[in-house]
């Protein structure tokens, strides 16, 4: 009971710590038309003659990254289909459903629907535009092997839990049995995700460690400010995990390959109205869908009209995918006064959840040693059970925030 309580406290603390930051996840507009901007838009050029990308931008629509199987062969929705989808989606309880009090499933739902961003259905059935099937390309054999290694280790951490005993989807491919000896071993990879162990911060996800933001990023808001030779993008993304990016518009070569950065190294040039950004030098410490230091992005930011930027990014890592793939997204200009507030990225400053989670785990271990509690290995603190309220066809996972 005590351990369960500690778990609840830990989750509640994380909720409180980040609650102030989650307001950015609100739905900006329920309408279909781009937000109207009452004040006159800026000129399409900056006073120094470069294309003007400045302002606050977001993609106000919900579009799946990959085309869901049920929409195979279909590139765009009709307006009627979007309306029908939104009507169906509005009926989903999502995480507002309380489950049996005191169970892991109930605790895992501590972030209820208030914290979720539910945006109206977009026009396209996938953000991925290339390959044409709207699906992320197949993993290379070596990436598939890496993914399998990670998955096996993750499943081993769950082996003694109810999740595996009850054959929950989270244990798919795993088995139920006594605690795995692998619990005492280091993961055979540099962990960035959430595993069912709490030995130290490295066992928790980058999001729980307030380092969840990555490039490429398709959510949240961006404030773009330009000066001659520089484009600054303040990303307000994740749970107060936004970050500041300065893109040099320069012909200078990339940083030496010995310098690896979480957000890579950006080099941009203007081509007509398009800002083309080449991003390399990513860090092995972070993983974008399995791609680490070999990740290479080619972004294109184009101001289509006063209210629209087309953002496209070609994502490549020959050690991860069998071919490059491209995502395209329309960012809609947001009203300045209504979005004037700078939501500072202060997840880390309020991160009482992470140490409390670790403290809770230490307390559970002590209780177990004294015969006063269950083996912590039998508890599941990694699975997101947030699907109970029904599945959203456009987010797949019921709109989980992680």
Report the Cα 106 to chain-centroid distance in Å.
22
Closest CA to 215 of 258, 279, 309: 279
Residues in Cβ contact with 302 at an 8 Å cutoff, skipping those fewer than 6 apart: 273, 274, 275, 309, 310, 311
To the nearest 10 degrees (0 to 180), the angle between helices 2-19 and 353-369 is 180
Instruction: Please classify residue 270 by burial: count the beta carbons closer than 10 Å to its beta carbon, then call 0-12 exposed, 13-18 middle and 19+ buried.
Output: middle
User: Contact positions toward another protein, by CB under 8 A?
Assistant: 20, 46-48, 54, 198-201, 209-211, 223, 225-232, 234, 243-244, 246, 248, 252, 255, 259, 261-263, 285, 336-337, 340-346, 348-349, 354-355, 358-359, 361-362, 365
Instruction: Please classify residue 258 by burial: count the beta carbons closer than 10 Å to its beta carbon, then call 0-12 exposed, 13-18 middle and 19+ buried.
Output: exposed
Tokens of 73: 């062969």
**How many C-alpha atoms does 166 have within 13 Å on its Cβ side?**
12
Closest CA to 178 of 389, 375, 390, 391: 375
Which CB sits closer to another protein, 85 or 224? Answer: 224
Helix (H, G, I), strand (E, B) or coil at 82: helix
Least Å distance, CB 34 to another protein, is 21
Question: Locate tokens 């109810």: which residue?
Answer: 162
Q: How crowded is residue 96: how many other Cβ atoms within 10 Å of its Cβ?
A: 13
Least Å distance, CB 365 to another protein, is 7
Give the span between the Cα atoms of 120 and 27, in whole angstroms.
Answer: 8
Q: Strand pairing of 265-271 and 221-227?
A: unpaired
Give, for 81, the enclosing helix (H) or strand (E).
Answer: helix 79-90
Tokens of 7: 């778990």
Q: Are 55 and 301 in contact (CB under 8 A)?
A: no
Least Å distance, CB 87 to another protein, is 33
Question: Locate tokens 């062969």: which residue?
Answer: 73
Quote the DSSP letter at residue 45.
Answer: B
Least Å distance, CB 284 to another protein, is 13
Tokens of 346: 């202060």
- Dihedral of the CA atoms 391, 394, 397, 402 (nearest 10)? -150
């Amino acid at each position: 009971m005590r351990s369960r309580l500690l778990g609840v406290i830990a989750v509640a603390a994380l909720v409180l710590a980040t609650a102030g930051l989650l307001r950015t996840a609100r739905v900006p507009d329920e309408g279909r038309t781009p937000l109207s901007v009452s004040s006159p838009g800026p000129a399409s050029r900056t006073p120094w003659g470069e294309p003007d990308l400045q302002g606050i931008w977001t993609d106000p629509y919900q579009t799946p990254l990959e085309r869901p199987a049920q929409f195979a062969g279909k590139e765009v929705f009709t307006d009627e289909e979007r309306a029908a989808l939104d009507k169906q989606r509005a009926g989903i309880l999502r995480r507002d459903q309380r489950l049996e009090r005191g169970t892991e499933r109930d605790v895992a739902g501590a972030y209820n629907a208030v914290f979720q961003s539910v945006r109206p259905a977009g026009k396209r059935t996938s953000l991925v535009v290339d390959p044409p099937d709207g699906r992320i390309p197949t993993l290379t054999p070596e990436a598939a092997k890496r993914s399998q290694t990670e998955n096996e280790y993750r499943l081993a951490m769950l082996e003694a839990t109810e999740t595996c005993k009850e054959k929950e989807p989270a244990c798919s491919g795993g088995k139920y049995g006594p605690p795995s000896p692998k619990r005492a071993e280091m993961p055979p990879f540099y962990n960035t995700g959430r595993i069912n162990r709490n030995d130290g911060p490295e066992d928790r996800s980058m999001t729980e460690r307030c380092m969840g933001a990555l490039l490429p990023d398709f959510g949240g808001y961006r404030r773009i400010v330009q000066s001659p030779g520089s484009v600054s993008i303040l990303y307000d993304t994740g749970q107060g995990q936004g970050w500041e990016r300065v893109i040099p518009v320069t012909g200078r070569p990339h940083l030496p390959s010995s310098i690896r950065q979480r957000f890579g190294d950006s080099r941009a040039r203007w081509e007509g109205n398009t800002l083309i950004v080449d991003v390399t030098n990513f860090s092995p410490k972070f993983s974008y869908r399995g791609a680490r230091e070999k990740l290479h992005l080619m972004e294109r930011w184009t101001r289509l009209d006063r209210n629209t930027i087309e953002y496209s990014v070609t994502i490549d890592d020959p050690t991860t995918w069998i071919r490059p793939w491209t995502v395209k997204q329309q960012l809609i200009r947001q009203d300045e006064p209504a979005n004037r507030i700078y939501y500072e990225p202060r997840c880390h400053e309020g991160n009482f959840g992470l140490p409390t989670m670790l403290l809770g785990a230490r307390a559970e271990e002590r209780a177990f040693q004294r015969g006063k509690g269950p083996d912590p290995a039998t508890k599941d603190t990694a699975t997101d059970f947030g699907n109970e309220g029904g599945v959203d066809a456009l987010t797949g996972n019921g709109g989980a925030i992680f």
